Structure 1
Amino acid sequence: MYYPDEILEQVRAGNDIVDVVGSYVHLKKQGANYFGLCPFHNEKSPSFSVSADKQIFYCFGCGAGGNVITFLMKYENYSFQEAVKALAERAGIRLPEAEYGEEAKKREQHRRELFDINREAATYYYRMLRSPRGAAGMRYLEGRGLTAETIHRFGLGFADGSGSDLVAFLRKKGFPDDSILESGVAAYDEKRGLHDKFWNRVMFPIMDVNSRVIGFGGRVMGDGKPKYLNSPETPIFDKGRNLYGLHLAKRSRTEQFILCEGYMDVIAMHQAGFPQAVASLGTAFTSGQASILKRYAKEILLSYDSDEAGMRAALRNNGILREAALRSRVLDLRPYKDPDEFMKNLGADEFRKRIDAAENSFFYELRMLERNFAMDDPAGRTDFCREAAKRLGVFEDEIERDNYIEAVAARYFIDKGSLRRMVGSYTEAGELIRAPERPKPAAPRKKEGGITPETRAQAWLLTWMAEDRAVFAQVSRYIRPEDFAEGIPRTVAERFYADPKPGSIAAIISVFPEESEQNRAATLFNSRFELPEGRENQEKALHDVVLSVKQSSGRRRAAELAGDPNALQEIIRSKKELEELKTAVFCIDTEKGREQDG
């Protein structure tokens, strides 16, 4: 897929990356860059960086990086063309028809094929539910109180699985076996070959925000295990960045969404007149999902099961929502276990009353905390007050924290001044509890290609030159693009030397078609290094890095030319340049100096 470079530059220039990423991720300015929690892996401490100067993002935790187009592709699971179109529309830019290169055409066709397979599978399940073979599924859904309209709206279906009929159906449609397997609707083993993944299950199609089927959840009929079976993650289905029912909930035009635990809870909510209900997809709620919700709502109501597991989930997810700068409250469903049961027994009007009475998430956390203390005993009550004071550390804004100190003091009959002093003492001692229990972070993805001392030095140098034009002017007298390792480092260097402005870096990222390549390119401009104190030491550090890159280049070139009788002059020239560099002097303006951890 191809757009002229000038059009892509116009799209990038019309969409400031801080504004675009900031609409998905809660960002805070730190020094020259903005930082937030990475939407591409779970983490507690912000390692996701966005550079306004370079117009790129980079996560120091998982290695994800790129420009504003890359971000939208990763976050929304868009193709390149879809991301460019969305950004062009956002900036009011009219696009010409895109031309396709061969590789881009193959990637786009493969994505379309996976979407098509999922759509055809959804159609197959939908029809199966309405056939005699789907009678058990229809009885189950009607027994749960779902109307024909609701079953239709959510595209519910049934997987019979007899004889792997879905696989046969998809083959007849012309889809190849490897794509059917990759789509997640089929499985493979030596005994049965390619066969239907789902059987004897009511099927819940999972759609992305653009109403495209990306996966399925299946509820078994009877007592089979597992009770719910979900599609695996695929190139078009990322469980941590999608929410069940969002394609419908986004049309509700309300700033208050309801977050449920399961598919049936969402469906029951919609049927009862609460179309703003959504649910996570069989996994723990993630910061990425919180960022998605932030696009559509300002407040989230947690409608979780009233059992112990549901209460733990509410505590955990309140923290995730708070970190995404979303207000949250917790619904009390007692005496019923879940929203579906509540709606059947008490109805929509009573549920609206529960919404109005929903508990502030912080006070919910304190109420759960109370259970650990003997509140009628002075010692137990004192211990509770201390823990409450520590938890007030979740509010970084001074005014907000002050308001909560007053509210907590009033609710628990604590002297306001005493509580404020207690919070202050914990602040000074660094003992504030910044967040409630969180899910363990997913292991960061292994960075592509590995980091060697040679590539680390090259990344340091490129980052340094990109952030200080005076450094580039001096270094470029000694280091040329061909001194960088072949492949991505050299391509990046060639492009950067041709246009050494921070704003050109976003365009350099776009040169690489593969996501892994863009991540590696972004790494080269986001190297973390710590400058020593003082101008003289910093200048020595720059000299050492430049010398290291030049020496590595000389060794590579000598190995390449070994045995070539015509290469003597080039080897002599290279050694002479290296000797000159050893005595070179670099000057650094310490006012522009930078320091990074790591």
Structure 2
Amino acid sequence: MYYPDELVEEVRLKNDIVDVISGYVRLQKKGSSHFGLCPFHNEKSPSFSVSGSKQMYYCFGCGAGGNVFTFIMEYENFTFPEAIKLLADRVKVDLPEIEYSEEVKKKEGKRNKLLEVNKEAAKYFYYQLRSQKGSIGYRYLADRQLSDETMKKFGLGFANVSSNDLVQYLRSKGYRDELIQEAGLASFDEKYGIHDKFWNRVIFPIQDINHRVVGFGGRVMGDAKPKYLNSPETMIFDKSRNLYGLNFARTSRQSNIILCEGYMDVIAMHQAGFTQAVASLGTAFTAGQANLLRRYTEEVLLAYDSDGAGVNAGLRAISILKEVDLSGKVLNLEPYKDPDEFIQNLGTEAFRQRMDEAENSFFFELRIMEKEYNLKDPESKTKFHREIAKKLCGFPEEVERENYIEAVADKYNVGFDNLRKLVTTYAAQTGLVSPIVRPKSGIAEKKNTPEENMKKSQRLLITWIAEEPEVFPKIVKYISPEDFTEELYRKVADRLFEGLEQGKLNPAHIISLFTDEEDQREVAALFNTKLEELETKQEREKAFHDIVYTVKKNSYEYYSGRLGADISTLKQVIAGKKALEELSKTHISLD
């Protein structure tokens, strides 16, 4: 679908990039930009920059960058028409109605079809729960003390006892058997043919962060196995990139996120006012899900079942949270098994108190480990202290390690110096506490070629002009778009200079002129080259002059090497030589 440039620009201008990306990534303002952890690669230190003035984002770690359309396309795996529709809906801009021909309908993206059939299935399940056939499911949810409002909020439904009701319904809506199966809503076998995946179950629609149904979970009515059944992974449903309830939790504006084990725990907690609760989707907690949480919080409270399986799951989750540099604490739900049961019996205030008293994850690990030792026996107690020392080696930062040694020594009545020596001994033996040496950039340094140095000076100049557009009038007599020898750079400079001559600076619009994703990333990088932080005005003026002079000098040498019968190249060389002579004698003020 083609949209007029004016309409595209209207949608872009009405969607402030900081507001949009804040819905996906937790950002903090630093200077004129906002920074957060990049959603496109795994990192522990924020290198993902979002500029409100430029209306663009750029990651200094992985190079991802672009405008608000680029972000939605890359994050959501959307096409451009899908991205503009989402953003237009967000700011209530009406797009032209799309009139599909039969040919276009056949070519519609499979992704959209899967979302569509899932939405229709969710509507069907929702209706069934509220019909006579769904009374058993409704009674089950009501007995679990869920209100009608909560059932509606989460779109809860019911799959009938009959094993092909949904298939028949979706067929009546025009959906083909192949699509129904591909969405994970039906199975096929030789004996029964195609039949419903879910039947005689309360249904929990699984939504992505934009509230679109991407899969389902079902809890059986009765004692049949499995107790819980989940949709298989599809083109639109990746369990490692989804968490149940995150579509609500990400906008809860709480300082933490509560991680539960099951659907009912999440729903019960949201009903009780703890709208930051989420759960993994029928599988063990994964690193992918931890990275997802890291976009929205720094602290995760584990509210797993208090039985043995829940404790083991909690220990695994703590390890995964540490890997992505998230702080984890553990809620004590005893004497009850899970959050739902706890809240039903003791209420919300008691649960809030348990949240305030949540146990440090390291001490939770030690408390569980302690059960394996007899602390009344000196030999067993010594073994326990050795294991503590080994775990303390897991803190690579010296200050943090020292703080934990002090806290552990106090808690377990161990001499601080003795425990510290034990930790040092194990660290020396295993090499567990060794300094991590990286180049300051975080990326391996390499010697640049003359061509790369030429490109770098051009990138620096474009970034500097975009950061401080008031310098443009001072250099326009020396520098033109033709001085940028890379074709892409020249196109960007041409648009940049044209806009500045009209009093407009619009990097995000310039990105929109490029349709290739790699080109968009490179253009974003052009506006986000790392400039040296110089303290004095004299240092900054010298650095800027050097960059301008280098760009002009490289341009002069570039065109000189291509001299021939082309009169325009000859003019470029002559003009370049004259500009260089002037530049060598000119002081460019940055006042």
Alignment TM-score, normalising by the size of structure 2: 0.62
SS at match of 2:389: helix
The offset of 1:215, in angstroms, is 0.8
Match of 2:190 in 1: 190
What is the 5 A alignment of 1:285-296? 285-296=285-296
1:269, 1:277 within 8 Å by CA — same for their partners in 2? yes
**How many angstroms apart in 1 are the aligned matches of 2:377 and 2:93?**
70
CA shift digits 1:54-97 (9 cap, x unpaired): 978999xxxx999897776565454445557889999x9x9997
Give the Å deviation of 1:265: 0.9
Contact 2:162/2:199 (8 A) holds in 1: yes
Matched with 1:205 is 205
User: What does residue range 51-62 of structure 1 map to in structure 2 within 5 Å?
Assistant: none
C-alpha spacing 1:388/1:70, structure 2 compared with 1 (3 Å): farther
What's the counterpart of residue 524 of structure 1? none
Q: Secondary structure at the match of 1:251?
A: coil
Distance 1:220 1:55, change over 3 A: same
The corresponding residue for 2:322 is 322
Cα distance 1:108–1:407, how it changes in 2: closer, same or farther (>3 A)? farther
Show the counterpart of 2:404: 404
Distance in 1, Cα, partners of 2:427 & 2:335 = 40
How far apart are 1:255 and its partner, in Å? 1.2
SS of equivalent to 1:394: coil
Cα shift readout 1:222-272 (whole Å, capped 9, x = no counterpart): 111111111111111111111111122223221122110000111121222
What SS does the corresponding residue of 2:202 show, helix, strand or coil? strand
Contact kept in structure 1, 2:38 and 2:59, CA below 8 Å: no
CA-based RMSD of the aligned residues comes to 5.2
Residues 157-306 of structure 1: pairs in structure 2 closer than 5 A: 157-160=157-160, 162=162, 164-306=164-306
Identity value in percent: 53
- Structure 1 contact 208–246 (Cα < 8 Å) conserved: yes
Instruction: Give 1:307-456 correspondences, 5 Å limit.
Output: 307-432=307-432
1:470-498 residue CA offsets vs partner (Å, 9 max, x unmatched):
899xxxxxxxxxxxxxxxxxxxxxxx985
Q: Is the 8 A contact 2:85 2:95 kept in 1?
A: no
2-side partners of 1:253 and 1:235: how far apart?
30
Which residue type is aligned with residue 276 of structure 1? Q
Note closer, same or farther for the CA distance 1:348–1:178 as it changes in structure 2 (3 Å cut): same
1:141 partnered with 2:141: yes
Q: Distance in 2 between matches of 1:300 and 1:132?
A: 41
After TM superposition, give the deviation of residue 395 of structure 1 in Å: 2.6
Per-residue CA distance 1:561-586 (angstroms, 9 max, x = gap):
xxxxxxxxxxxxxxxxxxxxxxxxxx
Secondary structure of the corresponding residue to residue 252 of structure 1: coil
1:169 and 1:85, CA in 2 relative to 1: closer, same or farther beyond 3 A?
A: closer
Asked if 1 retains the 8 angstrom alpha-carbon contact of 2:23 and 2:251, the reply is no
Counterparts of 2:515 and 2:235 in 1: how far apart (Å)? 22
Contact 1:39–1:287 under 8 Å retained in 2: no
Listed one character per residue, the Cα deviations across residues 373-418 of structure 1 (whole Å, up to 9, x for unaligned) are 2222222222222221221233333322222121111111222223
Q: Indicate how the Cα distance of structure 1 residues 95 and 151 shifts in structure 2: closer, same or farther if over 3 A, else same.
A: closer
Indicate how the Cα distance of structure 1 residues 97 and 121 shifts in structure 2: closer, same or farther if over 3 A, else same.
Answer: closer
Q: Distance in 2 between matches of 1:293 and 1:429?
A: 35
Paired amino acid for 1:251: T
Cα separation, partners in 2 of 1:189 and 1:376, compared to 1, 3 Å: same
- Cα 1:57/1:122, change in 2 over 3 Å: farther
Quick one: structure 1 residues 385 and 138, their matched pair in 2 at CA, closer, same or farther if it must change by over 3 Å? same
The aligned amino acid for 1:148 is: D
Instruction: Report if the CA contact (8 A) 2:286-2:320 is conserved.
Output: yes
Alpha-carbon distance in 2 for matches of 1:201, 1:89: 34
Between the aligned partners of 1:497 and 1:21, the Cα distance in structure 2 is: 36
CA distance 1:335–1:20, change in 2 (3 Å): closer
CA distance in 2, matches of 1:24, 1:190: 50
The Cα offsets for residues 440-479 of structure 1, whole Å up to 9 and x where unpaired, read as: xxxxxxxxxxxxxxxxxxxxxxx9989945899xxxxxxx
Counterpart residue identity of residue 230, structure 2: N
Q: Within 2, Cα distance between the matches of 1:57 and 1:82?
A: 27
Cα distance, 1:309 vs structure 2: 1.2
Q: Would the alpha carbon gap of residues 313 and 254 (structure 1) be closer, same or farther in structure 2, given more than 3 Å must change?
A: same
Matched, 1:114 2:114: yes
Inter-CA distance 3–188: structure 2 relative to 1 (3 Å threshold): same
Task: Tell me the CA shift for residue 204 of structure 1.
Answer: 0.5
* SS class of match (1:229): strand
Describe the SS at the equivalent of 1:333.
Answer: coil
Given that residues 122 and 155 in structure 1 are in contact (C-alpha distance below 8 angstroms), is that contact kept between their aligned partners in structure 2? Answer: yes
Change in CA separation of 1:373 and 1:77 when aligned onto 2, cut-off 3 Å: farther
Distance, in Å, in 2 between the alignment partners of 1:397 and 1:85 is 46
Equivalences, count: 453
**Counterpart residue identity of residue 232, structure 2:** P
> Letter of the aligned partner of 1:374 in structure 2?
N
Partner of residue 571, structure 2: none
Q: Do 1:37 and 1:287's aligned partners in 2 also have CA atoms closer than 8 Å?
A: no
Q: Take 1:375 and 1:343, find their aligned partners in 2: how far apart are those partners?
A: 35
Secondary structure of the 1:423 match is: helix
- The offset of 1:432, in angstroms, is 3.3
Considering only CA atoms, is the larger Rg found in Structure 1 or Structure 2?
2
Q: Which amino acid aligns with 1:335?
A: P
Structure 1, unmatched stretches of 5+, are 26-35, 435-462, 473-495, 519-598
- What is the CA–CA distance in structure 2 between the aligned matches of 1:79 and 1:250, rounded to whole Å? 24
Describe the shift of the 1:221–1:97 C-alpha distance in structure 2 as closer, same or farther (beyond 3 A): closer
The amino acid that maps onto 2:399 is: I
Amino acid at match of 1:429: Q
Higher relative contact order (CA closer than 8 Å, sequence separation 6+): 1
| SS of aligned partner of 1:174 | coil
> Using the alignment, how far apart are the partners of 1:73 and 1:321 within structure 2?
28
> If the length of structure 1 is used for normalisation, what is the TM-score?
0.62
Distance in 1 between the 2:306 and 2:274 partners? Answer: 19
Q: Would the aligned equivalents of 1:77 and 1:236 in 2 still touch at CA under 8 Å?
A: no
